[in-house]
Amino acid sequence: MLNRRSVLLASLAAGVAMTNRAHARAAQPATPVNFDVPEHACDCHTHIHGDVEKFPFFAGRVYTPEPASPEEMAALHKALHMERVVIVTPSVYGTDNSSTLFGMKARGANARGVAVIDDKTPESALDTMHQDGFRGVRLNLATGGVNDPNVGRPRFTAAVERMKARGWHVQLYTTLAMITAIKDLVETAPVPVVFDHFGGLEAERGLEQPGFSDLVALVKSGKAYVKISGAYRSSKRAPDYQDMVPYAQALIAANPDRIVWGTDWPHPDSSRVEGRKATDIAPLYQIDDGRLLNQLPVWAPDAGVRKKILVDNPARLYGF
């Protein structure tokens, strides 16, 4: 039988658990890096989730992530020997890029940003963003569940049209099916095009899965970059995601000058979970980024190729 003391202790324990969950730490590397990371290496895909009081989330978001601070990111990159970073505005902020800018300012000259905009974003705002270090815009078709080419094609075209005058790139988080649907537009785009997270491929479907050959062809032609990032989003074979090896090697072999690498830290969980509302906290995935980075020499055994992926290609694409 519960007495008053037992009830009080249980309540205190529940309060502590809730506090810990509200302030859960984003993942830090558990595995040391096992190869020489070249000077000026860049993590090309990260996010900052600032204090919600200062950086409120977008009301139309489909998930709510835990916090992830610039200080935590700095610790991550110290462990990974990453000097430079690209911070991408996640879908949870809509077109508010202030949390991304907050993270960029904390990092200084070694940071670049990728913004989310809409047709209401004035050119003057883009001018200011350029001065602040933004170098591209992101279309997130995946998290929003946009699978219709009749929606994706005009959104891509509109983004390219706005970016061509300022030389920014257009980054897409999407699926292989959408890449196939917009391939002709990418081939004629006057700006660089970047596909997130292996182009959204599914490792278990094999190298012959529809759309992968189109992604490889775009990379080979030099018309698109691809981020070999977020392997855990394409593969279920944790912790090394060995089934991603042939995909990474195929993309790198197609054109090592069009490959960049990223952690996808702090690893937000944007999946739809039964019973979880968009406003409920979605715990961050606890991914060992040291172990993920150690896959790069498996994917690219040549140190010169790794330098292209980690240093030269990001410097060209993001203007470091």
- Helix 149-163 to helix 176-188 angle, to the nearest 10 degrees? 40
What is the rounded average pLDDT for all residues in the chain? 92
User: What whole-number distance in Å separates Cα of residue 180 and Cα of residue 197?
Assistant: 16
Please tell me the predicted confidence (pLDDT) of residue 269: 95
pLDDT of residue 77 exceeding 50: yes
Write out the E strands in 4-146: 42-46, 64-65, 84-88, 111-115, 134-140
Please tell me the predicted confidence (pLDDT) of residue 24: 60
Please tell me the predicted confidence (pLDDT) of residue 6: 38
Average pLDDT value for residue range 161-173: 95
Please tell me the predicted confidence (pLDDT) of residue 73: 98
Please tell me the predicted confidence (pLDDT) of residue 18: 35
What tokens does 195 get? 């596909």
User: What whole-number distance in Å separates Cα of residue 309 and Cα of residue 176?
Assistant: 22
- Domain boundaries along the sequence of the chain: 41-318
Please tell me the predicted confidence (pLDDT) of residue 142: 72
The pTM assigned to this predicted structure is 0.91
By the 8 A CB rule, do 231 and 239 touch? Answer: no
CA angle 28, 106, 90 (to 5 degrees): 65
Please tell me the predicted confidence (pLDDT) of residue 144: 67
The string of pLDDT tens digits covering residues 235-271 is: 999 999 999 999 999 999 999 999 999 999 999 999 9
User: Which residue type, as a one-letter code, is found at position 284?
Assistant: L
85-89, 125-129, 132-136, 272-276: segment of lowest average pLDDT: 272-276
Please tell me the predicted confidence (pLDDT) of residue 12: 33
CA angle 65, 69, 72 (to 5 degrees): 115
By the 8 A CB rule, do 250 and 216 touch? Answer: yes
The string of pLDDT tens digits covering residues 42-55 is: 999 999 999 999 99
Using alpha carbons, list the distances in angstroms from residue 291 to 25, 27, 143, 288, 298: 18, 12, 26, 5, 12
186 φ, ψ to 5°? -65, -40
Burial of 144 (0-12, 13-18, 19+ CB in 10 A): middle
Neighbours of 116 (CB within 10 A): 21
- Give percent of the chain above pLDDT 70: 92
pLDDT of residue 4 exceeding 50: no
Please tell me the predicted confidence (pLDDT) of residue 16: 32
Please tell me the predicted confidence (pLDDT) of residue 145: 66
Looking at CATH, the fold of the domain delimited by 41-318 is given as TIM Barrel (3.20.20)
